[in-house]
Amino acid sequence: MQRTLCTDLPTATPGEPVRIQGWVHRRRELAQLTFLVVRDRSGLAQVVVRGDAAQGLPPEETPVEVTGTATANPQAPGGVEVTDPTVTALSDDADTPPVELWRPTLSASLPTLLDHAAVTWRHPVQRAKWELAAAAMKGFRDTLDAGGFTEIATPKLVESATESGANVFQVDYFGRPAYLAQSPQFYKQVLVGVFERVYEVGPVFRAEPHDTVRHVAQFLSLDVELGFIEDHREVIQVLRDVVAGMVEAVGTYAAPAVERLGIELPVVLEEIPLLHFREALEIAGAPADEPDLAPAHERALGEWARAEHGSDFVVVEGYPTANRAFYSHPDPADPHWSRSFDLIFRGTELVSGAQRLHRYDDYVRTLEERGYPYEPYASYVEAFRRGIPPHGGFAIGLERFVGRLTQSPNIREVTLFPRDLHRLAP
């Protein structure tokens, strides 16, 4: 007999035999009968066990197979339950879970949630968060595939740190030092020289020495880079389409998860409101000589975008060049400002991007101006003697995106098995 998924049970013909598989979500013993709620990847189903059959039913979280009769019952979830069942355990009795997974909400503290992640992710509301993540990845890739981008896979073991010397993990690489890549920045830039338009979905590593709610030591970075651009505005347009594709995919492929979480998906306008850094400071009520936007400023900008444009997103461009990565392209009209941008989602920075430098001489001059030594950057910078067109890109932190979607206070709540200063397991 074919397996029926729990959410498909309502489509079964009453009186017909059915077979379901899943975990014992809840075992509720009454005087006359036992209700067994079975959970599978799709949802829940109710099984009614009467008489002797109710003896020795496996405890919660044990995987089971149930064959029985589909029976209409307006009080059952979906209006159909399984009666007259044969319940077969598919493994030994499960240990009592560290948290009660059958309760509608998971009230465990964050440390408990994380210590027992392999179990706590089973809770339907918790699981829903990752279902958003999986759908978002699909939307990311589908949008870029349609735009002529090539997916790449780059080395995570590198000879030197690109982004900054600090916050990098050192590896014993056959007896010599190597480092875990903090981003695929160099590789995506040189691969623009090959494929013009590239993206990567892969882990990046930051030896973040501070315990914050926004940082973990490994996260999934959704990286994009494209060549033959006029300026950073073309990159912002691609970013807009990518974010719209991610939100749309969440709505399409993770609709039950969205419903379970009770969240509202954000609005991605055709044109995301765009502010220059100077205007952004003004709107946020910050002094005109601030070098960067503080979290409070980003919150103010989020409120402004919602109030003025009904938008959950706002892009700020033109951050001061001196405050951005050295490979950011200055604004030719006034090199004090850069062709960089951030995307602010509901008042928090979600994405950083920019047009990059593409000429070797510009790299050399910038390193000099900043007082950076040439040698550690030599192999990076010399790649630009090989003919790289004007290009730019951005990176989206997947878990940060999901964290904002679900309004999770801590990034760890939406990371499958987070790594940080204190946590290396499970």
Find the binding residues for a second copy in span 145-174 (CB under 8 A): 145, 148, 150-159, 169-174
Q: Which amino acid is at 275?
A: L
Report the binding-site residues.
163, 206-208, 214-216, 349, 352, 356, 397-400
Question: Could you identify the residue written with the tokens 């964050």?
Answer: 110
> Which one of residues 202, 256, 320, 376 is an interface residue with a second copy (CB under 8 A)?
202
Question: Could you identify the residue written with the tokens 């951030």?
Answer: 342
Does position 133 interact with a second copy (CB under 8 A)? The reply is yes
Alpha helix stretches (DSSP H) within 89-227: 110-115, 117-120, 124-146, 185-195
Choice between 4 and 71, CB closer to a second copy? 4
Residue 24 CB, nearest distance to a second copy (Å)? 8
Task: Round the CA-based radius of gyration of the chain to a whole number and report it.
Answer: 26
Does position 211 interact with a second copy (CB under 8 A)? The reply is no
Does position 92 interact with a second copy (CB under 8 A)? The reply is yes
> Which one of residues 131, 215, 274, 280 is an interface residue with a second copy (CB under 8 A)?
131
Choice between 176 and 370, CB closer to a second copy? 176
Residue 154 CB, nearest distance to a second copy (Å)? 6
Does position 278 interact with a second copy (CB under 8 A)? The reply is no
Residue 425 CB, nearest distance to a second copy (Å)? 5
Contact set for a second copy, span 38-67 (CB under 8 A): 40-41, 61-63, 65
Contact set for a second copy, span 14-33 (CB under 8 A): 21, 23
339 close to 362: Cβ distance less than 8 angstroms? no
- Give the start-end residues of each E strand in 262-347: 274-276, 313-317, 340-345
With both helix axes pointing from N to C terminus, report the angle between 398-405 and 124-146 in degrees, rounded to the nearest 10: 120
Contact set for a second copy, span 287-326 (CB under 8 A): none
> Which one of residues 68, 227, 397, 403 is an interface residue with a second copy (CB under 8 A)?
227
Distance in angstroms (rounded) separating the CA atoms of residues 226 and 171 = 31
> Which one of residues 7, 147, 214, 417 is an interface residue with a second copy (CB under 8 A)?
417
Residue 306 CB, nearest distance to a second copy (Å)? 31
Report the binding-site residues for ATP.
206-208, 214-216, 349, 397-400
Distance in angstroms (rounded) separating the CA atoms of residues 131 and 137 = 10
Contact set for a second copy, span 172-201 (CB under 8 A): 172-174, 176, 178, 180, 187, 190-191, 193-197, 201
Long-range contacts of 240-243 (CB under 8 A, 24+ apart): 240/268, 240/270, 240/271, 240/272, 241/143, 241/147, 242/139, 242/140, 242/143, 242/144, 242/396, 243/268, 243/313, 243/343, 243/351, 243/396
Q: Max Cα separation, the chain?
A: 84
Choice between 62 and 338, CB closer to a second copy? 62
> Which one of residues 26, 138, 214, 309 is an interface residue with a second copy (CB under 8 A)?
138
354 close to 341: Cβ distance less than 8 angstroms? yes
Question: Could you identify the residue written with the tokens 């306008």?
Answer: 269
Residue 416 CB, nearest distance to a second copy (Å)? 6
Residue 278 CB, nearest distance to a second copy (Å)? 29
Per the rule left: phi > 0, alpha: psi between -120 and 50, beta: everything else, 280 is alpha
Choice between 9 and 314, CB closer to a second copy? 9
Contact set for a second copy, span 353-412 (CB under 8 A): 358-361, 379, 383-390, 398
Choice between 190 and 267, CB closer to a second copy? 190
Choice between 272 and 414, CB closer to a second copy? 414
Distance in angstroms (rounded) separating the CA atoms of residues 16 and 400 = 46
Residue 165 CB, nearest distance to a second copy (Å)? 15
